Structure 1
Amino acid sequence: MLDNIMDNIGWKLLSVLLGFVLWLTVVNYEDPLVTRTFNNVPVNKLNESVITSQRKSIEYVSGDRVDIKIRGKRSLVDRMSYNDIYVYADLSKMSITGAVEIQVQVDNDIKVMEKEPGTMQVELENVLTIQKEIQHVFKDDPAAGYIALNPSIEPNSVQITGPQSKIALVKRVLVPVSISGATKEVTFYGNLQVMGEDGQEILGLTPSINQVKVVVPIEKTKRIDIQVPVTGQVAAGHVLAGVSYEPRTITVRGKEGVVDEVSSITLEPISVQGLTEDKVVEVDLVPLLPRSVFLYDEAETVKVTLDVEALVQRDLILQPREVQNQGLAEGLTLTHVAQGAYSLRLSGTQEALGGLTVSALRPSISLANLGAGTHTVQLVLDLPEGVSLVAQPLRMQVVLEAEGPVTEPEEEQ
């Protein structure tokens, strides 16, 4: 038996070897070894709490994603996805230089050929917490004729936690407020934004709250007039030449129904009794406003100037030919009894009398319903405001005569 087995042993071993080689060839031909690269594979961070529990923040400088090359049978490699690769870095094993080795786990029949990078680089920084008041910023406007008052924000402050370098950049904490076209109170919950000196939002910080309640009062505005009454008389020989005041109108705000009822505001009468010179009075507007109506972006006082001027006199010479005849009946002619000029003594302010002429007074007499004969009529002058005639009334004598030849009486036969 043994002799039969050992007979031609060399050929038999060669046959077995050739069969094995043939089997390997067939297997490798049908399911060869191949390589494949998975790019940008995320690295899982393990044991971050070991660092964060020490009030340290972690900044991942590099190595939070990795490219991996694997090798294995085609039948296995072709079926692999990113879910079949687990990549991690254990931060509890970080070196003093901030390097953490990246580990890759795959199926036992798969070999990891390369990983790039091989380590994750991190930087640690102290974590600080600060308290900030929450401010608002309007992103748009209410409807025309309405205004938004400062909103109430609840809560009105927040704690911000983060790396020391980022905390140092924090300028303010904002809640954006949108009130586009609003005509009544707006209430909403708004998200917070942590802003830097440059007006850009700072990311990577943790607020103690993410939202706040915002209530924005909306009121109506209206432009109204100011009325300034005066009382009394200035001193003899003087005149109140004018009353000026600034502002002449103001904008008020309030609830819509209340503001709609307000058209003007009237000051208490200002006395000019016995004044001989200009007087300036400032009046507080706030006490004069109706209840629940308020000034909007306006000065709280009105400045009233009382312009008082001394009266002066001036004489103008009026020629009869300058008088306009009103209502002269047809068939009549007019003759002035006094052929000389009339003197008009006028009283008024220097400004009013300075450039005044007789023609500007448009002197006239009324002859309506008057027949032939001698008549005394009153001179009518169109006096400017603030100008008066010292001697009144001024009367003129005129003669009205019928036109045509005079009929002689017939002689008796």
Structure 2
Amino acid sequence: MKKSLMNKSTLKILSLLIAILIWIVVKNIQDPMLVRIITRIPVTIVNESYLASNLEIPLLIDGQDTVSVKVKGRESVVKGLKREDFRAVADMTQIVSMNTTPRMVPVKVTCEGLAESDISVTPGNIQVDIEEQTSVEKTIAVNTGDTIPDKNYEVGVLKANPEKVTISGPASIVNKIDRVVAMVDVTDRKESSVEIPSELRIYDKNQDELSEKQLSYLDLKDIRDNKIKIDAQFWKVQNKITVKASYSGSPKYGYQVDDIKLVPDTISLAGTDEALQKLAEEGNTVEIPGNLIDVTGQSSDFEANIDITDLLPENTKLVRDLNSSVIATVKILPYNSRDYELSVVQIQTENIPSDLALVFDQDKITARLKGKDEDLDKLNLDAVQMKINLKDYKAGEYTVPVTVTLPDGYELVDEITVKVKLVAKAQ
């Protein structure tokens, strides 16, 4: 009986061992051990503050800032591993020596699900440069890029919050920073006041944007993840604002200012609600002051190019894509003279070559006439006779003098010309 019990215990142990052996065999067949090599795993520096007391900062060397790993483990674990699953760090507290060249730091690689003993790193040490740490203070510009607000609104105010930033980092990077720009998307915006998130972009003196790697070495004081807020105001657009002008001085003796023609004579402005309300109360008019159009000593027509930007009411601006220049054409006439617009249809033609046809390049011409005021007021334009002689002209474009015959009591002040084309009749 005792012998039988021993045999049964032995059989149970043997069965257990056989089961374990079978499990191991099956496991190795279904999920075998596997070895893989994964390359170009980026290295990150940690504990940079270890050098901060000496105002120094470590930098990785381009081309030497990645490592390869050889990993071993079950196929179910190892086969699906990607480069992003590994974290490679160079801990500055473990630097081999500050007195050697090059300076080397051990690299440690970890991966969730793998023991450190199953990971082999190549190279085991990585070279770093130690640079002087410096800082620079820059104002933050705001840029909307290609984005535009609602069609009935303009960007009124864009203010970065904060308006400036202190940037610290390696001297080789910090010293070549040129500007800091906050990019903001204003697409279809029309709020009177709103706070918009923005991401900072940093540009060097070649106007190239700093790379992600260069940015990783920089510290932007009081700014996290290169993101700030933009305080924005959007102003409503008011169309058909009239532009008027006055003048200063006196023209030459015997001459007078007849008219000032403005191009454009209406503009569109955007402004705060208060500014647009005040503008409406003033007749929706912008005035060009006389000191900008001086007629002193003038005896003929002239033009003045005026930048209207500084003449706009407070808290208003020109709408986008509108030229800020206004061209003022000032007509200077002799006393008792006036300009009249005449149709080219009134021009009689003589001696047009038989194989050519006449085409006028303008619809009207201006005749400047002198006479008594009462006669100038009642001039019958149909009584003005005009004539051109095209003898000896060939096909082409010409400016031709016009012979003018006026009723009694009128005198032509300036000669008149007209632009014409002579073209073959087949054309």
Query: How far apart are the structure 1 equivalents of 2:408 and 2:109?
Result: 111
Specify which of 237, 247, 251 is matched with residue 267 of structure 2: 251
- Cα distance, 1:229 vs structure 2: 9.1
Q: Which amino acid aligns with 2:219?
A: T
Counterpart of 1:54 in structure 2 is 54
Tell me the matched-pair count. 290
Q: CA deviation at 1:85?
A: 9.6
Aligned 1:114-153 pairs, distance under 5 A: 115-139=121-145, 140-144=147-151, 146-153=153-160
Gaps of 5+ in 2: 1-17, 291-296, 339-368, 386-403, 411-427
What is the distance in 1 between the residues matched to 2:327 and 2:86?
Answer: 78
Change (3 A) 1:300 1:228: closer
Closer, same or farther: CA 34–295 of 1 in aligned 2, 3 Å: closer
User: Aligned with 1:181: secondary structure?
Assistant: coil
Aligned to 1:197: 205
The answer (yes or no) to whether the contact 2:144–2:184 under 8 Å persists in 1 is yes
Superposition deviation, residue 299 in structure 1 = 5.7
Instruction: Determine the C-alpha separation between the residues in 1 that align with 2:142 and 2:156.
Output: 11
> 1:281·1:303 contact (CA, 8 Å) conserved in 2?
yes
After TM superposition, the structure 1 = structure 2 runs for residues 94-133 of structure 1, keeping only pairs within 5 Å, are 94-95=96-97, 96=100, 97-102=102-107, 115-133=121-139
Q: CA shift at 1:130, angstroms?
A: 0.7
Q: Encode CA deviations 1:353-399: one digit per residue, 9 max, x unaligned.
A: 9xx9998369xxxxxxxxxxxxxxxxxxxxx9x97759xxxxxxxxx
Q: Distance in 2 between matches of 1:87 and 1:358?
A: 93
Q: How does 1:199-348 map to 2 (within 5 A)?
A: 199-202=207-210, 203-204=215-216, 205-208=218-221, 209=223, 210-226=227-243, 242-247=258-263, 249-251=265-267, 253=269, 254-255=271-272, 258=277, 262-264=283-285, 296=318, 298=324, 304-309=330-335, 348=371
- Pick from 169, 174, 180 the counterpart of residue 173 of structure 1: 180
Unaligned runs of 5+ in 1: 1-22, 71-75, 270-274, 313-345, 363-383, 391-413
Change (3 A) 1:281 1:45: closer
Say if 1:216 and 1:176 are closer, same or farther in 2 by CA, change over 3 A.
farther
| Cα deviation code 1:220-251 (max 9, x no counterpart) | 24343445799xxx9xxx79694233445143
Matched, 1:158 2:165: yes
Q: 2: distance between equivalents of 1:93 and 1:293?
A: 59
When residues 299 and 127 of structure 1 are mapped into structure 2, their CA distance, relative to the original with a 3 A threshold, is same
Distance 1:86 1:291 in 2: 60
What CA distance in whole angstroms lies between the structure 1 residues aligned with 2:86 and 2:286? 80
Could you list the per-position Cα deviations for residues 326-353 of structure 1 after superposition, in whole angstroms to 9, with x for gaps in the alignment? xxxxxxxxxxxxxxxxxxxx9739xx99
> Would the aligned equivalents of 2:153 and 2:234 in 1 still touch at CA under 8 Å?
no
| Structure 2 Cα separation of the partners of residues 69 and 311 of structure 1 | 100
1:81-118 deviation line (CA, Å, top 9, x unaligned): 679999765533324222234467999x9976964223
Cα displacement string for residues 285-309 of structure 1 (whole angstroms, at most 9, x for unaligned residues): 99xx897685746469967444224
What's the CA shift for 1:135? 0.8
Query: Structure 1 residues 113 and 47 mapped into 2: Cα distance closer, same or farther (>3 Å)?
Result: closer
C-alpha distance in structure 2 between counterparts of 1:136 and 1:86, whole Å? 36
1:105 and 1:226 mapped to 2: Cα distance?
A: 72
Return the alpha-carbon distance in structure 1 between the equivalents of residues 315 and 110 of structure 2: 74
One-letter amino acid matched to 2:68: V
The alpha-carbon deviation at position 46 of structure 1 amounts to 6.0
Distance (whole Å) between structure 1 residues aligned to residue 307 and residue 55 of structure 2: 58
CA contact (8 A) 1:277 1:307 kept: yes
Q: Report how far residue 38 of structure 1 moved.
A: 4.7
Q: Which amino acid aligns with 2:383?
A: A
**Which has the larger helix fraction?**
2
In structure 2, distance between residues paired with 1:102 and 1:123: 15
Equivalence for 1:68: 70
Percent of aligned positions that are identical: 16
Q: CA 1:240–1:38 in structure 2 vs 1: closer, same or farther (change >3 Å)?
A: closer
The Cα of 1:159 is off from its aligned counterpart by 0.6
* Cα distance between partner residues in 2 of 1:120 and 1:229: 76
Cα separation, 2, equivalents of 1:303 and 1:389: 29
**2:4 alignment partner in structure 1:** none
The AA in structure 2 aligned to 1:165 is S
Kindly indicate whether the alpha-carbon contact (under 8 Å) linking 1:348 and 1:387 is maintained by their aligned counterparts in 2. Answer: no
Give the TM-score normalised by structure 2.
0.49
Asked if structure 2 preserves the Cα contact closer than 8 Å seen for 1:52 and 1:58, the reply is no
Distance in 2 between the 1:217 and 1:175 partners? 18
Task: Decide whether the 8 Å contact of 1:142 with 1:182 is kept in 2.
Answer: yes
Any conservation in 2 of the 1:227–1:267 contact (CA below 8 Å)? yes
**Alpha-carbon offset, residue 167 of structure 1:** 0.9
